[in-house]
Structure 1
Amino acid sequence: MSLLKDKFIILRKMKYGESDLILHAISPQGEKLSFIARGALKSKKRFGGGILEPTHFVSFTYKESSEEGKLHTLQEASLINDFPGIRQDYDHLEFALHVLDCVGKVSQEGDKHSDFLFNLLGHTLKSIEIAQDVLVLKMHFYLRFLLQQGVIQPEPWMAPFLRTNLADSNTLISHRQVVDEELNNVENMVRHYIAHAVI
């Protein structure tokens, strides 16, 4: 097994056994990788300070598995950004975890050509930190996500959301009426898509 180092956003964390963790994370290339962090619940030296948490942008040093579908072995982890503003209230955190779920459902192991998915996730997490209206940002994310996945075609009412950067979502608050009218339909499309996405 070769030793590799790369940056990731952690999508999911699961306890395994007494002290191990299994992690799913997405690379800057958009590839989803799975890791086992042995002794992570006991080792404060290698994995201390709550580094291994979903939403965290981290640097991993790991042993690459030689077998397809097997877990890579995490050796060290360091925190790059924990997006602290996400935890300002329940609505912001809930939406951040939902975004992770959406990306986690459609990202694939072995796919190194979906950097747009990693970028969408990273920009959304940054935007959640400063979002004045989570519902407006939710619409913004959903439309970009569905468009990237080829689920929808642009319609005139979507234009303000599709031509605005995620970092500027707060400028779309003036379109709140559109959000109120369309969000349920768009959210249902997202939930249906990720529930039936063939990965």
Structure 2
Amino acid sequence: MSEKQGRFIILKKIKYGEADLIIQAISVDGSRHSFIAKSALKSKKRFGGGILEPLHYVGFTYKEGSAAHQMKTLNEATLIEDFKDIREDYDKLELGLFVLNCVSHVSLEGDQSSDFLFNLTGHTLRAVSQSKNYDVLKLHFCLKFLYQQGVISLETWMTPFLKTNISDSIQLAEDENIKIITENYLGSIESLVAQYIKTADAGFA
């Protein structure tokens, strides 16, 4: 079977056996993929430099599994963006992993019509790298996420968040009214997200 190539954001890595890794990632079309990276913990040439880490935006060369639902075999990986600033700050890392966790629970294998989910993930991670007000950004992401998933209906107080690109969250955080809204609603919206992803059935443990 011929090799394929694609771009992905890594959601999770799992050690498998002594040297293999299972990599779960979301593609640019929003579909979830599972890869087996054989001997990844030994191969510095193919997977060196900690490239197979959650948060990384990567290019993969891989082969499809021979049977339905079989994992793809990862042959090579190239780093496109590592979001280094996120890894160097605990609060940024915590928020970045929160985003990945949300996305991992709703992304679906074979879904090729959810590019909005990939875009939300990428733009939010880039915003996390630059943000200084993590609570505003977290509420911004949660509202976009829940609205895209059809969980919430538009309420007046949500309008500034849903009408503003996630990449412009820094400017949004400069508004004192937005900070007040965040203080009032973040807890309840975060709880709604937690409840939703627990019940979302994406087959993604």
TM-score range, shorter chain: over 0.9
Mapped pair 1:142 → 2:142:
yes
Alpha-carbon distance between aligned partners in 2 of 1:89 and 1:178, rounded to the nearest angstrom:
25
Mapped pair 1:72 → 2:72:
yes
Q: How does 1:156-171 map onto structure 2 within 5 Å?
A: 156-171=156-171
Return the letter of the residue paired with 1:9. I
Q: How does 1:160-199 map onto structure 2 within 5 Å?
A: 160-173=160-173, 174=175, 175-199=178-202
Per-residue Cα deviation, 1:82-138 (whole angstroms, up to 9, x for no partner): 011112311110110110010010001011111000000000000000011111100
Q: Which residue of 2 aligns with 1:117?
A: 117
Alpha-carbon distance between aligned partners in 1 of 2:189 and 2:42, rounded to the nearest angstrom:
43
Alpha-carbon distance between aligned partners in 1 of 2:146 and 2:79, rounded to the nearest angstrom:
30
Alpha-carbon distance between aligned partners in 2 of 1:180 and 1:68, rounded to the nearest angstrom:
47
Alpha-carbon distance between aligned partners in 2 of 1:2 and 1:196, rounded to the nearest angstrom:
37
Alpha-carbon distance between aligned partners in 2 of 1:181 and 1:96, rounded to the nearest angstrom:
22
Residues 105 and 201 in structure 2, CA contact (< 8 A), matched pair in contact too: no
Return the letter of the residue paired with 2:198. A
| TM-score, length of structure 2 as denominator length | 0.95
Aligned-pair CA distance for 1:158: 0.6
Aligned-pair CA distance for 1:171: 1.4
Aligned-pair CA distance for 1:8: 0.4
State the secondary structure of the residue aligned to 2:24.
Answer: strand
Give the CA RMSD over aligned residues: 0.8
Mapped pair 1:25 → 2:25:
yes
Alpha-carbon distance between aligned partners in 1 of 2:88 and 2:134, rounded to the nearest angstrom:
12
State the secondary structure of the residue aligned to 1:73.
Answer: strand
Mapped pair 1:87 → 2:90:
no
Aligned residues: 199
Alpha-carbon distance between aligned partners in 2 of 1:108 and 1:9, rounded to the nearest angstrom:
14
For structure 2, the 5+ residue unaligned runs are none
For structure 1, the 5+ residue unaligned runs are none
Return the letter of the residue paired with 1:185. S
Alpha-carbon distance between aligned partners in 2 of 1:29 and 1:146, rounded to the nearest angstrom:
19
Alpha-carbon distance between aligned partners in 1 of 2:119 and 2:143, rounded to the nearest angstrom:
15
Alpha-carbon distance between aligned partners in 1 of 2:74 and 2:130, rounded to the nearest angstrom:
32
Alpha-carbon distance between aligned partners in 2 of 1:128 and 1:22, rounded to the nearest angstrom:
26
Return the letter of the residue paired with 1:36. I
| TM-score, length of structure 1 as denominator length | 0.98
Alpha-carbon distance between aligned partners in 2 of 1:128 and 1:68, rounded to the nearest angstrom:
36
Structure 1's consecutive aligned runs of 4 or more residues displaced over 4 angstroms after TM superposition are: none
